[in-house]
Amino acid sequence: MKKGWQVFWHVFFWVSVISFFVFLIHSNTKMSWNQALVIFLSYIAVNIGLFYINLLVYIPLFLNKKKFRLYTVSLIITVILFGLGKYAFAVFFRPSTLMEKGHVLTFGVYFLSTLFSSIMFVFLSTVLKFTMDWFLNERVQRDLENQRLTAELSFLKSQINPHFLFNSLNTIYSLAYQRSETTPEAVLKLSEIMRYMLYECNDNKVDLDKELKYLQNYIDLQKIRFGNKAFIDYTVNGEVDHQRIVPLLLISFVENAFKHGVANDPEHPIVLTLTVSESKLNFYVHNKKHQHNRDAAGGIGLHNVQRRLNLLYPDKYTLTIHNEADTYSCELSLVL
């Protein structure tokens, strides 16, 4: 909170308190408004002074620095001095306040009678200070955590592009090496994919239909790589309308299937099934494993996406992985 607003709320609070009690004094006594205001102001001004001395001086100088003995001594001396000030004010300006049942109150009795109010104002200022510090600390910790998460997400996202580009360039290199006629088409698909990654997925979330088009381009690129002999059963169920999703979230599952799975077996195609509803997405991937790569765990891709899911969809997703001897499957259920 800015300093100006802090001052405003402090002034507003004390004006409200003073107005309320002046109204009570005027309503329950025969005093005029001016008399009631003078009496209450003179009494509460001392306690307000004690409130702010503790809040602005003693707590920052002594209590926050764990100088407990010096804080206690300073507070006791101040309370005594303020008690003397209250008694002096009562003697010279309000002698009627020293009368009780026809007897004049001594300093000791009067001081003890006002000690409770002094302690109350000290207590209130201490509670206020620790409450303000707690909220400030919470906000600082929250800001630091947000900065940490933002930096981590940026790092995770930066890993996706080089990882994907490395795999795609390997594909195009293989096509170029074979002097394939599909090399220009593969370069065009990669260009569309990179355009999406560089320019359209910089927001926290993107339209789901754009993300699915990106997946389709990747699948098409892989089909070119296999000379259109890749067997992929890719199905989208449900109506893709206005749903939004964190960008580049599903690609790692598809990459993993092509990298570690068998794509050229017509009897065991790579299965990609995406089911969409108004606010939920279910993505299922199944593939047969390469004989020489049965124990592959997905490398950096799936570890990356799991970390992003934990950060961006806490308690809003389930990820089930079945890593069998000959097959690998995973299913992601996500609340959009």
CB atoms inside a 10 Å sphere around CB 247: 22
Q: What is the mean pLDDT of residues 50-64?
A: 85
Q: For residue range 269-320, what is the model confidence (pLDDT) as tens digits?
A: 999 999 999 889 999 999 998 776 544 445 556 777 888 888 888 889 999 9
pLDDT-derived band of residue 18, with 50, 70 and 90 as boundaries?
low
Q: What is the mean pLDDT of residues 57-86?
A: 84
What share of the chain in percent tops pLDDT 70?
Answer: 72
pLDDT at 101: 47
Residue 196 CA to residue 103 CA, distance in Å, equals: 89
Residue 148 CA to residue 130 CA, distance in Å, equals: 26
CATH 3.30.565.10 in the chain, residues? 227-335
Q: What is the mean pLDDT of residues 17-32?
A: 59
Give the tokens for residue 25: 């004094």
Contacts with 325 (C-beta within 8 Å, 6 or more apart), sequence order: 289, 294
pLDDT at 317: 92
Q: For residue range 321-336, what is the model confidence (pLDDT) as tens digits?
A: 988 888 899 999 999 8
pLDDT at 223: 84
Q: What is 227-335's CATH topology? A: Heat Shock Protein 90 (3.30.565)
Identify which of 312, 268, 304, 259 has the alpha carbon closest to the alpha carbon of residue 288. Answer: 268
Q: What is the pTM of this model?
A: 0.55
185 to each of 180, 189, 220, 263, how far by Cα in Å? 10, 6, 10, 20
Residues paired with residue 86 on neighbouring β-strands, in sequence order: none
Residue 124 CA to residue 27 CA, distance in Å, equals: 27
Give the tokens for residue 54: 């503790």
- Of residues 229 and 18, more confidence is placed in 229
pLDDT-derived band of residue 248, with 50, 70 and 90 as boundaries?
confident
Does 115 score more than 90 pLDDT? no
Give the tokens for residue 155: 């790092």
- Tell how strand 232-237 and strand 244-245 pair up: unpaired
Give the tokens for residue 277: 């509803």
Residues paired with residue 282 on neighbouring β-strands, in sequence order: 275, 333
Q: What is the mean pLDDT of residues 34-62?
A: 74
Give the tokens for residue 158: 């930066």
Residue 160 CA to residue 256 CA, distance in Å, equals: 13
Q: What is the mean pLDDT of residues 215-231?
A: 83
Identify which of 50, 70, 73 has the alpha carbon closest to the alpha carbon of residue 61. Answer: 70
Q: For residue range 127-184, what is the model confidence (pLDDT) as tens digits?
A: 888 888 888 778 777 765 666 666 555 555 555 556 667 767 887 887 788 787 778 8
Q: What is the mean pLDDT of residues 231-243?
A: 90
Residues paired with residue 51 on neighbouring β-strands, in sequence order: none
First-to-last C-alpha distance (Å) of the chain: 34
Alpha-helical (H) ranges within the chain are: 3-28, 33-53, 68-93, 107-177, 183-195, 208-225, 251-260, 299-312
5 to each of 45, 52, 57, 125, how far by Cα in Å? 22, 17, 20, 18
